[in-house]
Structure 1
Amino acid sequence: MESLTALFSQHLTSSGLPDPVQQVVESHWQQFIERHPTFDLTLDPRLINELTHCWAGSDFAAQQCIRYPEWLETLCTNRKQLPELAKNHAERLGSAIALTTTDDELNKALRLYRNQEMLRIIWLDLNRQVSMSDTTKDMSNLADACINRTLDWLYHDACKTMGTPFGTNIPDEEPVAQKMVVLGMGKLGAYDLNLSSDIDLMFTFPCQGETRGAKKVITNQEFFIRLGQRLIKALDSQNADGFVFRVDMRLRPYGASGALALSFAAMEQYYQDQGRDWERYAMLKARVVAGDKTTGQQLLDTLRPFVYRRYIDFGSISALREMKQLIQREVKRKGMESNIKLGPGGIREIEFIIQSFQIIHGGRDRSLQERNLLNVLNTLKEKQWFSPEEAAELESAYIYLRNLEHAIQAIDDRQTQDLPKGVETQARIACSMEHNDWSELLTTLDQHRKFVTTHFDAVIADPEAKEKNDTNSNQWQSLWLSRLTEEEEQQLMTQEGFKNVKTSWRRLISLRDGKAITRVRKQSHDRLDQFIPLLLTVAAASTEPDTFLLRILPLVEAVLRRTAYLVLLIENPGALEHLGRLCIASPWIAEQIARFPALLDEFLNLGDLYNPPKKAELADELRQQLAHIPEDDLENQMEALRHFKMAHILRVTAAQVSGKLPLMKESDYITWIAEVILDAVLAIAWRNLTEKHGMPQDALGNLCDPGFIIVGYGKLGGIELGPGSDLDLVFVHNGGTNKETNGVRSIDSTTFYTRLGQRIIHILTTQTPSGILYDTDMRLRPSGSKGLLVNSLPYFEKYQKEEAWTWEHQALVRARVIAGDQQLAQQFISLRSDILGQERDDIKLKADVIDMRQKMREHLGSKTNQQHLFHLKQDPGGIVDIEFLMQFFVLKYSHRYTSLLKWTDNVRISEELEAVHLLPHKEARQLREAYKTFRLGIHQKSLQNEKPVVEKLELEEVSLKVKTIWSQWLME
């Protein structure tokens, strides 16, 4: 023992630790050797160093070693296995309490296990042998095991004296035994428990009923309340061995005045009728930690809509702000500015930053429905809500603050986050945090806290605070609150730049004085009183105040009962400015946002708004969004698909309107959106049907996976979709005739594929709260609307070769496989080339093309009484003439020039015609330029909600070139 003491003293002297810290460790060692003079253990310098750091940072750890030297021996001899022990708390604690028969024996076993494990966890943490997240996960697993094992022990004991609770929520069904469900809230729920944290719990049970098996019958609620009281006492009460965990039950419904245990039905009713904003934040991290975990998860699933709203919930940020203000006032009142959790730039501010994104966007983006803060932060970084630098700084600050929290708490196993005032304790904590001294620690701490505060202010701070002295805003508020006369109101609008004052004023006043506004809740009215003056201020500063106002007011009217959408714009005035610019440029955009206010979410990240992703990024984003929705939840899958489409169409259109995206690129993006959606829709429909019926078989009896393709025709096939385009689709399969699926509820393959096609159409065209996904046109399939919805490839080939009209071969020029079986897709491509590559009779081909073109002009062109107008698409010299020319060339020449079969879009077909010298460069270029001009015109008209018609003189020269080339080739 003397040699061990000498070795320890020698190491301590050369350790470089500050004198106050050395004195603390020396004092602990003296107590240890006085209590255990015969203790002998081989300690190498590394172990001595670890022991020194542990005792320097924790009196609690030192006292446990002094009381139980065998625990220290276990630490030293098993040091390499210490981190792994975090994984099997339940098994080890189960063994520790297996032979206990009384409450006292249980309490002692629990506390001894807890204290030994706390020693191990503190040892690992202070020696930085594990990460901060490992420490909090270890602590959470320890708490889970203590709650679970204790609850099991107490439940079986309670059933012996009070009987077993029985109940059922299903009428006429025999009651079954009930078990309690323990919900872990806060840091416990997030597997993020700190070294000396209390545990926030809720007790609940599946349903009401009565006990059986005892002399006295009591209600289930009374049983579970008594059980809960015993559980709290077993964990929380202090005795000679300390406590297990401090238990806090104040987060339960009705708080301290509420029943200790409630049924699931009572929980659901409470959160539906009385749940408050702060309780939503509390429920973000709720997790079933003990008891009946299966039914407990069902309860959490039921409560999910309370926590995560289906729409953008930006209004909830005001509740966060109010909560933070309350905390700040309390911190100031109690002089807690040095509290690293509640004080400025502390842990709570980081939590609020992350939780605000979860509450606002989590209802629609399930990847944010995650309990662990650092995991959510990483998701936010991936979704570019934070830059990599911002996310790294927030993560670094959080880890530093949590490590500092642990260092403070490890000293005496006390739940505190206050920076210490004593010089000795400061030196010890600086040592635990690997700083040279307290001054260095404070410098690093201040850097982290300043960054957190800056970011917190950017996310949570009230933007209106800066505008309180805005004279214009006050004037507009006077108008909105009817403090001015009509003459003064109109004079103000004139003064601030409105031109069509009477129209704009009447429109605004019709909202202000209308009946609809009298029926909204006070909260909504308050938000309107805040938003309208801001709207008028921003509109007056725009290039076209009247247009701005008149196109935004329909949005305001659309969200009168969901004014949380307006809070998004109040919180982000820059987003309102951008929204106004786009609405000025396009009434189509204004109408889309008024119809689907959830699109306002896109204005929170203006960088993304004007930078549409590539196809692979689109596919990955949609895959991630759908991955968070249960596979059997078709309703939410369809809503996710619709929002995905609307959001990305808005982004593409916004980029095009703002001049940041060329027209042809716009069509590419909108076509890619349709392609990734169709791919996802096919996967959903396929999974749904195969779960019911199994997989179909081909003619040889091989299973098809999927043996089905979606073929795009028209604009989809030609990569020319616009914002409001429908989809021309044809479905083809390779299922075998008279072959059945391999499931229990088998059906023949033809029926299977018909149902698959029907399911796809259902997903695309069903009207949901977010509208339909796409209008679809299936008339280009064999035999048109009279034909089968889905055709086999052999039948498709037979029809195209034996029955199809020339115009159907023209349509096939633009046909392209969009989604489905790759092998079948290659067979279709080969078949398309074979059909289009047939040599044709020139005279008949020309006559058929001209005949079909004439029919289209008669039905779809400009009317005879509008000779001064030019229909960009249908009139002679318009876009359809160019399309027919390209189709004519492919049908006429592809048997000689197979390269013409490579493309489905008009521009690249014209380029290929030029490359093989069928069209001179000048004519090919003229057709391409005319095509782009017409398409741009059609697009601009659609964004203005106008028909694709212009004054004939505007494009007479361009259309004349097209007509000349048409005549040259088709009128000879």
Structure 2
Amino acid sequence: MTGPGMAGRRSSTFSRLLRHGFTDPSAAERLLDGAELTGVRNDPVLLEALGATADPDLALHGLVRLLEAQPGATARRELLDTVIAAKPLRDRLLGVLGASAALADHLARHPRDWEALVTYEPRDLHPGVEEFERGLAEATDPVSLRVAYRRCLLSIAARDVCGTTDITETAAELADLATATLRAALALARAAAPGDAAACRLAVIAMGKCGGHELNYVSDVDVIFVGEAAEGADEGKALRSATKLASHMMRICSETTVEGTIWPVDANLRPEGRNGPLVRTLSSHLAYYQRWAKTWEFQALLKARPVAGDLDLGRQYVDALAPMVWQASQRENFVTDVQKMRRRVVENIPAAEVERELKLGPGGLRDVEFAVQMLQLVHGRADASLRSGTTLDALRALAEGGYVGRADAEQLDAAYRFLRSMEHRIQLYRLRRTHLVPEGEEDQRRLGRSLGMRAEPVTELNQEWKRHSGVVRRLHEKLFYRPLLDAFAQLGPGEARLSPEAARERMVALGYADPAAALRHLEALASGVSRKAAIQRTLLPVLLGWFADSADPDAGLLNFRKVSDALGKTPWYLRLLRDEGAAAENLARVLSAGRLAPDLLMRAPEAVALLGDGDDLEPRGRAQLEQEVLAAVGRAESGEAGVYAARGVRRRELFRTAAADIVHSYGTETKPAEADQGALVDEVGAAVSDLTAATLAGTLRSVVRDGWGDTLPTRFAVIGMGRFGGHELGYGSDADVLFVHEPREGVEEREASEAANRVVAEMRRLLQVPSADPPLLIDADLRPEGKSGPLVRTLKSYEAYYRRWSLVWESQALLRAEPVAGDEELGRRFIELIDPLRYPAEGLGEDAVREIRRLKARMESERLPRGADPKLHAKLGPGGLSDVEWTVQLLQMRHGWAEPGLRTTRTRQALAAARAAGLLGTEETEILDEAWVLASRVRNAVMLVRGRAGDTFPTEVRELAAVGRYLGYAAGHVGDMLDAYRRTTRRARAVVEELFYGG
């Protein structure tokens, strides 16, 4: 029976529980009314203590579970009376229960372990390794070791959540507990194999956070093992014994039992990583680090500390390697290696997690650690005070030594402490290894309250987190790149700067032809106190070096300034260059490689976004391009607007293709240049051809829609010819085409013909509207009767012409014919029509062969530009494109009827098919293929460098050097490039003389 009085009391209880921070007062009331809390249900002391925890609901539930687990009523009463009477225990126990469900589970399984929290004396506040060893001393097997470990962990967590220890003391205690645990696990391993223990000396070296006395609640414990033979023992046997002990010790810590796991022991920082022996002798370690070690391995050794096993051997190891660690900054590319390693860490974070990643993400803990470690390694060689393995101790030493401003150090210290506190409390909840900030409001509320935020814990948590993360980002950029910064760009207030004379000398040394202009660009980009200028100051030192690696550093820097001015107010631009490891380097390569790609980028600066670390530079297929173009055309209000939209897609995709070509040809510091030049040519040819086909499809759709709505009175198809049909277009190639139509049922041929001609005329007009984009010229001169014949014919007209008038050169031209746009069925029927012409039954007669040879010889003598060096003309010169293609096409016409592999529009595929059919030898095929690929690369290079098509090497010095750089030749080696071209094409011409002209 309920009455007004009971309802009022319940309402009062609800309000009181809500006031104390409970989020589920109904469940809390049921627990408080339970038998376990008899007599203390309304005790204000208990409710006040529960309300002070991170999660009062979780704390109350854990307390009830602990009481239920007690072995009897007397034990339950003892625990409850102690909790109510003793504030230190109450705060410790409830604090842990409100912050850690995992430790609540442990207490429920081991109900007397709460007694470990009773002692509250000064000597108990900061236990060290010896105290933890005493706490683990009773462990006789892996299961009991886990129980004892969790009991010790319980005491650390209690001091942590109550504020008795700060984050650095907690992390040090966790490292000391890990040390004691490693020693206990090694003792168990030794006891299990006394023979192995007697045969060797084994030292365990802690690395990473354990070595640095800054361990997390849940973390891999990184170690390296050093072994030596015991006196009188055989070294080989000793190392085998040491390896068994080390493996057993790792399993004891890492394996999961009924009590869970302790933590994984990770030995992958050892020489050769997973592939190297688990245990090495000291001399073997030294030999490896002297000859083979990478920069990151010396960075890792900065935190090395002997913790278990033979500590004398461990100290010998650390002492012997210390000189190498502190000389590491003198290694070639040291700074860039460290920077690249940090960038790779960020690149490997899943995109969905990067904003929640406390440790590895931008503005996270690793940013602080990498910045501090790099400055330690740079300056620690001469200043021993910097040689601490603990991040905050090293940061304090850097500030005291003047290497870091005091204000910067104070901000980094505060941010690091806050982020580590977040990380600790996130891990403490489930004792799981994670560095991700939880997304759920309930989890964020508990996390915020655990850090002392009570008014609006979720809001306050996110504000503080973002504020500290922002501080870390800013200072990481400043400190991590500063060793390169002073040489090039103006720094912030109070920072040192180079004199104008010294800066100018530096620019000259880097190869800038106009250092005064370069310095003006730097001043414009990096001066001031804005965030944009600050980021530019972190980027420019690296970018300047990349520009200097090109043939025209001045152009690269000028183009970068133009792009930066165009995107200056776009928030993502500099962030992309700063946060994505490859973006800035890719941009530098693209901007300094010539005119085409920068010109395209200036027309669409937002395309910078394609240069990031993902797959954005991968060419898109024809179907995807055509879908986008047709969708853009469909949204346009007129034919001209539709073609303008199609050209916009073409502009962006040309930039994508050119940028990928440049990046793959130049390579980057993180990715070497592609070795397969043929694959690059094929990729460019396919990409440009697909893009041209999609553009024509969009133009056709625009014209038809404007003139006739949805349906043209005649079926209409565009047939690609020449390099277009062969999927081999270069950046500056015209689009050779044929137009074919067929009247629809019920439409008179005259009406159909008029419509088809209007379509062709309008397509050509719209594509020739003046624009700053690279031109797309439609060339229909390969049609029947050439320039004298009609631009478009019916399928029947083509059939009649080819049956009666076709010449051998026309059959040869049709070898490259392939439908590219319009009516697919009509295009297929056109191909069926021409197949007998281009692959004549029984091959070519001798008269036809002589005619083809005559035409080729005439072309060589008449079409080569006056004054051009024939030996350097990529298209018409000896061994150039024309030589190879005519040779291949002659083989196709003579043998295509019998060899299906030859029935392809693609030159390289036809070459491979001819070799497979035994028509060419392997060496001949390789010679022709190499020459064709090289000539194609030269034409592409000329267009990329000059911004206009050309078939010969440039004569201007910088342009010629840029072509050489694209082809893989270092500065000063253009002579080698020209010699190699002449040599390659001379060999190809010899093959052509034999195969095409018959010797």
TM-score by length of 1: 0.47
Max Rg structure: 2
TM-score, normalised by the number of residues in structure 2: 0.46
